[in-house]
């Protein structure tokens, strides 16, 4: 929980609700927390609480007008605004993020990629230019880009982070498995596959050993 009173866990579930609501083959006029919870195998109390924190259109026994709920979630998540970002490190993961069409609909516009191996002709990846590192600071400053996405190898991540911070970004989305040092005015969100894998592997081995021991 933080000042806005909404937890990261709620924030992470909101795009899932949205995906469900927008993906319904026939959109009903109203939808209840119960329906959503059942469809997504989630806890009903949790869904009810999540929805109430972003929309005040819910009515007992009726639920939320579907269109209104979609609009309220989208507005809450800021899909009606757009944040610009640059991405540094156009390896496989970087290229996957540059090519991912879903970000634009969700308020993230990756304006360009940067890579130490970028060529002079700046090839297009997913419709985005991959520019040489020398251009990074100028682009970030000129366009007042608030977000830097780091998809370089671990050993290069801190240096890239320093360059992004020096150029003025206010948030770093970090995919390198290292803890970055940033000044207090910069947000860091870490997205480490290796860290997630550690959680998955450990939970799986616990589950399997519980079963072996007959628990």
Residue ranges binding a second copy (CB under 8 A): 2-4, 6, 8, 11-16, 19-20, 23, 40-42, 76-78, 81, 83, 91-93, 95-97, 99-100, 102-103, 106-108, 126, 146-147, 154-155, 170-171, 173, 177-179, 181, 187, 189, 191-208, 210
CA angle 120, 122, 125 (to 5 degrees): 155
- Cβ closer to a second copy: 95 or 118? 95
- Cβ closer to a second copy: 93 or 135? 93
Q: How far apart are CA 32 and CA 47, in angstroms?
A: 9
In the complex, minimum distance from the CB of residue 134 to a second copy, in angstroms, rounded to a whole number: 26
- Cβ closer to a second copy: 107 or 132? 107
CB-based contact 128:146 (threshold 8 Å): no
E strand residue ranges, the chain: 30-31, 64-65, 83-88, 108-115, 124-125, 128-132, 147-150, 171-174, 187-190
In the complex, minimum distance from the CB of residue 164 to a second copy, in angstroms, rounded to a whole number: 14
């Amino acid at each position: 929980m933080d000042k806005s009173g909404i937890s990261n866990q709620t924030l992470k579930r909101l795009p899932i609700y949205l995906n469900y609501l927008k993906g319904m083959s026939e959109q009903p006029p109203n939808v209840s927390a119960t329906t959503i919870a059942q469809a997504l195998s989630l806890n009903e109390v949790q869904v009810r609480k999540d929805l109430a924190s972003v929309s005040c259109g819910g009515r007992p026994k009726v639920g939320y007008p579907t269109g209104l709920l979609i609009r309220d979630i989208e507005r809450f998540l800021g899909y009606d605004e757009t944040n610009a970002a640059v991405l540094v490190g156009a390896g496989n993961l970087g290229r996957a993020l540059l090519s991912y069409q879903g970000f634009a609909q969700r308020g993230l516009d990756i304006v360009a990629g940067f890579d130490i191996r970028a060529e002079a002709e700046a090839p297009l990846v997913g419709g985005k230019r991959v520019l040489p590192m020398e251009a990074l600071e100028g682009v970030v400053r000129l366009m007042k880009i608030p977000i830097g996405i780091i998809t370089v190898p671990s050993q290069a991540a801190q240096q890239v982070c320093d360059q992004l911070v020096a150029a003025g970004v206010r948030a770093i989305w970090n995919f390198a498995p290292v803890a970055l040092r940033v000044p207090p005015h910069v947000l860091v969100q870490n997205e480490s596959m290796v860290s997630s894998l550690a959680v998955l592997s450990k939970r799986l081995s616990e589950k399997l050993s519980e079963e072996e021991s007959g628990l």
